[in-house]
Amino acid sequence: MKPLFMWAGGKNKMLKKYTNYLPEQFDSYIEPFLGGGAMFVWAYKKNPEATFFLNDVNEDIMRIYQSIRNDVGNFLTTLDKYQEDFLPLSKPERKKFYYALRQEHAYNYQKWTATEEAATLYFLMKTGFNGIWQINKNTNGRFGTPSGLLNQKDKVYDYDNVMEWHEALQKCTLISGDFTDCLEYAQPNSFVFLDPPYRGSFTQYGVDFDDTLQQRVIKLLNDLTSAGCHVMMSNRDVGDGFFESRQGDNDLVYFDVTYTAGRRKKNTDGTHSAKKAREILMIGEHNG
């Protein structure tokens, strides 16, 4: 099983760096900022017998997960129809198809069932640009990411992976609320992974996530740790001492990373290249 879609800030590439800090054993897994779900994939593989509580404030993203869990047959029927219409097209025709469908998703989505709307968005995300979630005024405040390269050959999505998610999600409670709602699911020996929008982020995923909210996340980490949970929080270090000054007794680990999408450096010739950066992992004080 792998993430269902690319997600800027997803944790696939960071998992190897996190290896020495991840818990060996947990009874439940809680993720208040689900996004693309890379850490959930790790947790499910680690302990498929655990119980899982997954949240994201983005209702559209959560509708995809809910549809795959509860109505996968109709989800795939809608997705397959788009795929069948899309694949025979030339690249210019694919681009027209993408933007027409994006416009329909923006303004005419009321005609669809929740599952059809979710499958439409999933198709757009699989053919959109590089895992970026963009909200535009000209798309009615809904998904407005530009098209991707549109180079798909024989398929747009991975059927087997969707079905693996369908099975895994049967063990999950799926919610779309405030990240602090996860407190009611916390219990000793829960593993909680906090991945809020990064400070200085190039995209806010439709949410204005300022430092007041970042401080709420750190408070949540402390509250969950005090409740006996294994807690980790990822974020971006912008070099102003924000996390160091709020570290308390928690461990703080640093990782050098390279951003290839969104957070890119502008060169003198006007081109852009990957940008070096540093990320942090704050680990609850009781995790050792």
Q: How many CB atoms lie within 10 A of CB 183?
A: 16
Secondary-structure class of domain 15-58+176-287 per CATH: alpha beta
Residue 206: the pLDDT is 52
Tokens of 3: 């993430």
Tokens of 151: 């180079």
CA 106, CA 32: separation in Å to the nearest integer? 26
Residue 226: the pLDDT is 93
Half-sphere exposure of 115 (CA within 13 A, CB side): 13
Residue 257: the pLDDT is 84
Residue 288: the pLDDT is 45
CB 144 within 8 A of CB 135: yes
Could you tell me the CA-to-CA distances from 4 to 55, 67, 192 in Å, in that order?
A: 16, 13, 21
Could you tell me the CA-to-CA distances from 125 to 115, 162, 273 in Å, in that order?
A: 15, 14, 24
Tokens of 96: 């027209």
How does pLDDT run along the chain (288 residues), one tens digit per residue?
999 998 776 677 888 899 999 999 999 999 999 999 999 999 999 999 999 999 999 999 999 999 999 999 999 999 999 999 999 999 999 999 999 999 999 999 999 999 999 999 999 999 999 878 888 899 999 999 999 999 999 999 999 999 999 999 999 999 999 999 988 999 999 999 999 988 876 554 555 678 888 999 999 999 999 999 999 999 999 889 999 999 999 999 999 887 655 445 555 666 656 668 889 999 997 654
Residue 204: the pLDDT is 46
Q: Are strands 51-55 and 28-31 parallel, antiparallel or unpaired?
A: parallel
Place of tokens 């995209």: 203
Instruction: Write down the architecture of domain 67-158 according to CATH.
Output: Orthogonal Bundle (1.10)
Place of tokens 């024989």: 154
Residue 274: the pLDDT is 60
Tokens of 285: 């004080």
Which residue ranges make up each domain of the chain? 15-58+176-287, 67-158
